[in-house]
Structure 1
Amino acid sequence: MLKDCLEVFKRQMQQVKEKGRAEDALILDSYIPADGCYISVNSDGIIACQMDLKFNKKAKQMEGISQRYYGKMCFFDYHSRLVSMDKPVDPKKVIHSNNYLSFWVKQESLGNGKLNQEAIDRYFDVLKNPEKKYAKSKDRQMYDYIAAQIDEINVEKLEWCRDWVKKHIFSLEDMGISLSGKNYLKIFFEDTEERYIQEEQRYLITKIFNKNDYNQEIDGKIWGLPNDNLGMNQKKPYMAHKTRKTELPYMITAEDAVLQRKFFDYLYNQASAGKVNIYIDPEKGEISAFSKEEKMQKDFTGYYLYVQKGKEVQIMHQDVIVDYRYHLRKRFQYINVFDRKTEEELYRDYGTVGQMESLLNEILFSKWLVTNYFTPVDELQISGETARNLIWSRDAIFAWLYKNETQNISGILSKVSVNMIKDSIKNGYISKAVKQFNLKCSLEEYFSGGEPMSTDYESIRKELRRKIQSKETEQITSDEEYYYAVGQLVNYFISLSKAKDKKHSLANPFFNIKNNQALKDKLRQYFIKYNYQLKCSGTWFNNLYAMICNYTKAEKTDQNSMIAGYINNNILYQKKNMEEQVNE
């Protein structure tokens, strides 16, 4: 799959080149330099430009940009980077750039003694005589391979840069440069773009593979193990293929390794800007990047990558998406099952993946879903029931919304809904539980093909209210009505509690009961516990409790109807003729 993604990326770079721009413009257009002080020195040794760059993570943009020089500074910076801090030019890792036209150092090193004349000479000596650094046969093979393709080192320019650094690096304030003492100090000596690229290549090709000891030369081309998201060492013995003659997971040419590195550079830029969702369309040759909160707003078939920024960019998840459609094949109707005529804006039709995802994200997962599809379990910043249900269901939800895989999604969302409803009730968030219950019922109706729900709670409520106001005790006629009535009665009992810290978790024993006789026994316990507050003349309560006691047909516990009765407004507290209330 990575190879297919690279082909699309290569086509995009070629398209950029055909428009008269450098092929690296695809990377540089989204390039984000590290925070720090950037200095450009011209051929006369004069500072031509100085910028204090900082990336504003909230606004997702660079601060301190000089429009005239920013593009050039990004070019210099991009072509002066190390492959990693494990592959430095300076063996003591004080200086972090890769060629003699640039000089990077942490500002703190200027004052703590790490940067001195010896360190400066150490850096430039390596660049002046790279053959000494690459004395090992395999390393020397890589250096000779690239040295034959580029110009020789401009020793005169190298020494000029060395002298400038030695003379001015510790007295930049005299030249009008004010340093904060934090982040990077990066000095660039102006030269042609070709020279910068060549000097980068002199370093890069010798370091492009994971370890040159693994390299093999075949038909004049050098093959090796790439660096990106891959490594082989004593800590990763599982990466070796012990049953093959060559133990490496896979090998690519140096040219392909350079292309792959550029692709990962592009991904790193996107991740740095918060655009972690990458969509690659092989047919159209397009690459699109979106933040966690954004959505691809068109139909799509191709490759999907979820990336994360660390010391390097990491591909945390990859998949092939066959038939993503931004607009739902069938519109979802979010209804209030207790009052279908409600005008609350939340209860309406939803027609896109983005809208559906936002609804699930807010109602069921308290806004933790969208940003945590692929977050490792040990890095989740939530716990409890929300975390457990998120971990259990997020793969299925992603597959449903983004890959149109509906297998088991109905049952999974139903189970999650029940769990989250119970959790909301336990924590006293009844209005939230109502919304979650309505979503659960709406999802069941949606996945049933649009068939109306078998249980009409609005009608049950109206009928139950009529019955409790009757002068004679009537009968409950269905299991749904019975369990709804039980939920109302449980809610009423708990409302009578005199406890200072009254919790809805008192209802949990009722929700978890599987046997109807055990349920009636539990209700009797609560009646005995709270009957000192109940007047014999309380007709509404007497009728409700009598109807529940008299109903014997219930077989399987209907947890949905019991929860519906519990979280809905209690009919025993509603006014009769706007004046008379129960027990008065």
Structure 2
Amino acid sequence: MLQGCIAVFQKILEEQGGGEQKILDEYVPANGTYLIVSKDGTIRVQEEIQLDKKTKEIRKGLHFSELCFMDYHSRLISMNKPIDAKKVIHSDNEWSFWIKKDSLVSGKLTEEIIDGYYDTLLDPVGKKYGKSKEAVRIYRNFEEKNGAVDQEALERCRKWIKDHIFSLEGIDLSKKDYLKIFFEASEEEYIREDQRYILPNIYNNNDYNVEINGEIFGLPDDNLGMNVKKPFLSIKTRKYPAPYLLNEHQVMQQKEFFNYLTNQAAIGRLNIYVDTDQNKIYACGGNEVCEEHINSGYFLRLKKGKETEIPWQDNLSGYKQEMDIPFYFRNFTNTEYTRHPEYAKRFGKIERRNMLKDCINDVVFWNYLNGNLWLEASEVSTVDDKMRCDILRAREAIREWSVTAFGVDQDKRLESVLEPTSLNALKRSVLENQSERIDWQLNFRWSSKAYFSKEEDDSVGRSACEVMEYVKQKILSEETSYIEEDHDNEYYFAVGQLVAYLISLSKAGDRNQALINPFLNTTSNGALRQRLTQLYTKYNYAISDGSRRVKNLLAMIMAYTPDKPFDVEMFIWGYAANNIVYTKEEKK
């Protein structure tokens, strides 16, 4: 997978003239104050670079491009491979000097540390690589081809830093960001000294390096920290235990690709789509998707931390956001939603997968899904443990359906997780006594059933609404009317109506959860009848003896024996709908 992505990335670089320009065009330096010191020792450039965390816009100065080049060629591979053993100085060559401003304020930066940094650059074999024969060999090979460090230039930079770093003026040291100082040098000099650091450090551990036909192969350091603390990464049955090995050319290509991914992650583009047919890469925001058709390729989900990680990836095959059959979110109940007018805006035709995912996030998961879609299980946080479990249960199927559109029987998988989670959402709304949300979620469930059954009409939701009319006619009838055989939906709707009416007679302050919860957890009709009898016994003192509607409701319930198990959806529909017992008589 990774090599396929890198191959596409390299082709894009070649199409743009080769080199690193694509990376530099989208490069995002760390927040901080940037200085360029000219060869005569004066500060030629002083600029602030700031990335707005909300808008992802970068505050740039006139010399932003120049600073990006210098910055890109002065970065450490990781903080585990510093030039400065104390990890106070974060740059990798004599032309640059990076520190956190806090190091100046707190006194962490000392002349001793400055000397240690430049001494290591001057003699890396003696100061840094001496314990690793492989690192020494790689460095010596580079030195033979490119020469030793320019000692005169290094000492000039060292002197300037020691003379000025503790007395710089016009710099806000209160900010928790970087102070980066660059010295004027040619692009070739920056690239050469950057390579001097990179080549001995680019592999995860030089102990895993092997030489084959005069060429060095090693374990790359990107997204893979293989060491004695992680023996499970070692493949013991092989001569070389490393999972895979790359030569110098390949590992540099992988580094370039991860540098590109790091830039995208820095500006919030966490969804990466790689089209291996068209040789294109689409970088999208964390909650965005690619709108292009991709016949074959890969999807990468990035995570920004100390390093850019790829915690989740998937294949792409025939990817497209357009749904084969539109999803119609219908307002079957014709509710006006006066308290929540925003609910009504969701109704309509949905033709794109990500739009349906956002609808599911809103209706079923109370806007907690999108923020938890990619988090580690331990990091998922919601209103309660039940919703947390529902999100963990459903999110993989939702991701595959909406973000990558890949997998066998996608609709069936989505349906299998939406059925229980949307029902749990309904129960949660009942306990919260949110009548309009209950109605909204019922409309969504009925719309979902119509979509997954591939029916073009609205028979699912329409039949549910017809049930209410049938029950209403029976309750308001002058004579007792019974439910016909095989009409379980009417029965469970009527039970919901009766439970809502009896609970309305309670004079308790917080009556909803304690009284309705036992019914929501019912699994059989026998238990349902038992709890209904208990509730009726408790509140029948408040029922008028002449209440014809209540008698009709009781009679139709007690005279009917359902064939199907407890239908909690129809029960909730009856419970949440306007109570027919309280319906005003229509004037004749």
TM-score by length of 2: 0.93
CA contact (8 A) 1:11 1:285 kept: yes
Q: Which amino acid aligns with 2:474?
A: K
Deviation sequence 1:396-445 (CA, Å, 0-9, x none): 12222232523433232111111111122122223222222211111111
Q: Give the Cα–Cα distance (whole angstroms) in 2 for the partners of residues 325 and 500 of structure 1.
A: 52
Q: Give the Cα–Cα distance (whole angstroms) in 1 for the partners of residues 539 and 423 of structure 2.
A: 29
Change in 2 beyond 3 A, CA 1:55/1:408: closer
Q: Give the Cα–Cα distance (whole angstroms) in 2 for the partners of residues 158 and 555 of structure 1.
A: 85
Match of 1:433 in 2: 438
Question: Any idea what SS the aligned residue of 2:16 has?
Answer: helix
Deviation sequence 1:119-165 (CA, Å, 0-9, x none): 22211111122232322321111102322333442222111111111
**Post-superposition shift, 1:553?**
4.5
Deviation sequence 1:230-264 (CA, Å, 0-9, x none): 12212201011111111111110122111111111
Match of 1:3 in 2: 3
Matched, 1:446 2:440: no
Change in 2 beyond 3 A, CA 1:553/1:50: closer
Q: Give the Cα–Cα distance (whole angstroms) in 1 for the partners of residues 80 and 473 of structure 2.
A: 78
**Post-superposition shift, 1:298?**
2.4
Match of 2:358 in 1: 358
CA contact (8 A) 1:109 1:115 kept: yes
CA contact (8 A) 1:279 1:288 kept: yes
How do 1:214-233 residues align onto structure 2 when only pairs under 5 Å count?
A: 214-233=208-227
Matched, 1:406 2:401: no
**Post-superposition shift, 1:31?**
1.6
Q: Alignment partner for residue 535 of structure 1, among 537, 544, 547?
A: 544
Matched, 1:574 2:559: no
Q: Which has the higher mean CA deviation after the structures are superposed, 274-283 or 406-415?
A: 406-415
How do 1:169-180 residues align onto structure 2 when only pairs under 5 Å count?
A: 169-173=165-169, 176-180=170-174
**Post-superposition shift, 1:170?**
1.2
Change in 2 beyond 3 A, CA 1:181/1:291: closer
Matched, 1:141 2:141: no
Q: Give the Cα–Cα distance (whole angstroms) in 2 for the partners of residues 307 and 408 of structure 1.
A: 25
Q: Give the Cα–Cα distance (whole angstroms) in 1 for the partners of residues 504 and 111 of structure 2.
A: 79
Q: Which has the higher mean CA deviation after the structures are superposed, 315-324 or 498-507?
A: 498-507
Q: Which amino acid aligns with 1:375?
A: L
Q: Which amino acid aligns with 2:372?
A: N
CA RMSD of aligned residues (A): 2.0
Q: Which amino acid aligns with 1:333?
A: Y
Change in 2 beyond 3 A, CA 1:36/1:531: same
Question: Any idea what SS the aligned residue of 1:525 has?
Answer: helix
Q: Which amino acid aligns with 2:200?
A: T
Q: Give the Cα–Cα distance (whole angstroms) in 1 for the partners of residues 436 and 189 of structure 2.
A: 66
Q: Which amino acid aligns with 1:427?
A: E
CA contact (8 A) 1:482 1:551 kept: yes
How do 1:120-159 residues align onto structure 2 when only pairs under 5 Å count?
A: 120-133=114-127, 134-135=129-130, 136-159=132-155
CA contact (8 A) 1:474 1:547 kept: yes
Deviation sequence 1:52-94 (CA, Å, 0-9, x none): 222210111123x21x201111111111011111111112222
Match of 1:488 in 2: 497
CA contact (8 A) 1:292 1:370 kept: no
Match of 1:305 in 2: 300
CA contact (8 A) 1:275 1:292 kept: yes
Change in 2 beyond 3 A, CA 1:178/1:457: closer
Q: Give the Cα–Cα distance (whole angstroms) in 2 for the partners of residues 330 and 242 of structure 1.
A: 50
CA contact (8 A) 2:446 2:460 kept: no
Question: Any idea what SS the aligned residue of 1:303 has?
Answer: strand
Match of 2:424 in 1: 419
**Post-superposition shift, 1:191?**
1.1
**Post-superposition shift, 1:340?**
8.7
Q: Give the Cα–Cα distance (whole angstroms) in 2 for the partners of residues 291 and 313 of structure 1.
A: 15
Q: Alignment partner for residue 189 of structure 2, among 177, 190, 195?
A: 195
Match of 1:548 in 2: 557
Q: Give the Cα–Cα distance (whole angstroms) in 1 for the partners of residues 81 and 427 of structure 2.
A: 54
Match of 1:582 in 2: none
Question: Any idea what SS the aligned residue of 1:58 has?
Answer: coil
Q: Give the Cα–Cα distance (whole angstroms) in 2 for the partners of residues 149 and 360 of structure 1.
A: 60
CA contact (8 A) 1:172 1:178 kept: no
Q: Give the Cα–Cα distance (whole angstroms) in 2 for the partners of residues 271 and 246 of structure 1.
A: 33
Q: Give the Cα–Cα distance (whole angstroms) in 2 for the partners of residues 212 and 274 of structure 1.
A: 33
In structure 1, stretches of 5+ residues that fail to align are: 580-584
Change in 2 beyond 3 A, CA 1:108/1:323: same
Change in 2 beyond 3 A, CA 1:553/1:188: closer
Q: Which amino acid aligns with 1:376?
A: E
CA contact (8 A) 2:321 2:405 kept: no
**Post-superposition shift, 1:532?**
1.7
Match of 2:106 in 1: 112
Q: Which amino acid aligns with 1:468?
A: I
Q: Percent identity?
A: 39
Q: Give the Cα–Cα distance (whole angstroms) in 1 for the partners of residues 17 and 272 of structure 2.
A: 22
CA contact (8 A) 1:339 1:458 kept: no
Q: Give the Cα–Cα distance (whole angstroms) in 1 for the partners of residues 398 and 171 of structure 2.
A: 53
In structure 2, stretches of 5+ residues that fail to align are: none
**Post-superposition shift, 1:34?**
1.3
**Post-superposition shift, 1:345?**
3.5
**Post-superposition shift, 1:472?**
0.7
